[in-house]
Structure 1
Amino acid sequence: MTAPALKLTVYGTPGPQGSKTRNAVGALYESSAKVKPWREAVKTAALDALHHDDAWTALACPVWLDVQFSLRRPKNHYGTGRNAGQLKASAPAYPTGKPDLDKLVRSTQDALKDAGVLADDSVVASVSALKVYVLWGDALRTPGAVIKVWRLTDFLKESQP
């Protein structure tokens, strides 16, 4: 199987992008204060990875973006007293509340564009994304994301005789 064109591990709290709020004078701003730090973390990780690749050019071909977001579990998923640190039996296996997965992907795509990984976020033709809790299965040990970017044209070359 084709290796991804780029694989990044980004540490930090993933921030959703998309919801906007108006301030008292009517200007729009992002509702989540986590967007800017998250985009900066993704951009920094991408620039660090591309620093050693002088031949890299922003991908303008169709790409597949695969992202696994690792989120911190809420405190109410754990017991109290002598059960502190023990996960409750009722704790869900996957995060189903906020932040919205599509908004996490949006902020990540925009950061990849800003870093020069993607020529534009419109080149993303396929997305697979997952929200998991830290330390669950193969998730990161701290909040963040594992991001893989494949050129879809590489898959076409493999499938042709």
Structure 2
Amino acid sequence: MTAPALSLTVYGTPGPQGSKTRNAAGAMYESSAKVKPWREAVKTAALDALHHDDGWTALACPVWLELQFTLARPKHHFGTGRNAGRLKPSAPHFPTSKPDLDKLVRSTQDALKDAGVLADDSAVAHLSASKTYVLWGDALRTPGAVIKVWRLNDLHKEPTP
């Protein structure tokens, strides 16, 4: 398989985007305080990765976007007292609570657009996204995300075996 056009790891707490709230004056703002720092972390990581590629232009061609989000486990998943730091047997294997995966995708795509990775998030023709807990399987050791972007046009040019 062709190598991704861009591959990067972003560290920080993934923040969902999408839910809006109105203040007393009627202005709209993001409900999640985590979305702005997350978008900045993604944008910074992408700009750092692109800094070494002078010929990079924002992708307008169809792309495949792969996002693997790693979330911190809630404190109630761990024991207390002599079991402090140990995962409870009842702790779920997969994160099925908030943040919603689609809202994590939305904030990350917007940050990739802001960084100049994507000309527009409508260029994403194929999406693979997952969320997992820290240190579960091949997850990161701290909260964040692994982001990979492929040009679908390049994948279709590959000779078939």
CA distance in 2, matches of 1:19, 1:75: 25
Task: Render the CA deviation track for 1:19-77: whole Å, top value 9, x for unaligned.
Answer: 00000111110000000000000000000000010000000100010000000000000
List alignment gaps of at least 5 residues for structure 2.
none
**What is the SS of the residue equivalent to 1:93?**
coil
**What is the SS of the residue equivalent to 2:46?**
helix
**Counterpart check, 1:68 vs 2:68:** yes
Change (3 A) 1:75 1:54: same
**What is the SS of the residue equivalent to 1:8?**
strand
State the 1:159 CA deviation.
Answer: 5.0
Amino acid at match of 2:132: V
CA-based RMSD of the aligned residues comes to 1.1
State the 1:154 CA deviation.
Answer: 1.1
* 2:107 aligned residue: 107
**What is the SS of the residue equivalent to 2:29?**
strand
Change (3 A) 1:85 1:160: closer
State the 1:160 CA deviation.
Answer: 6.5
List alignment gaps of at least 5 residues for structure 1.
none
* 2:84 aligned residue: 84
CA distance in 2, matches of 1:51, 1:155: 24
Amino acid at match of 1:145: A
CA distance in 2, matches of 1:159, 1:15: 39
CA distance in 2, matches of 1:101, 1:11: 17
**What is the SS of the residue equivalent to 1:38?**
helix
Superposed structure 1 runs of 4+ greater than 4 Å apart? none
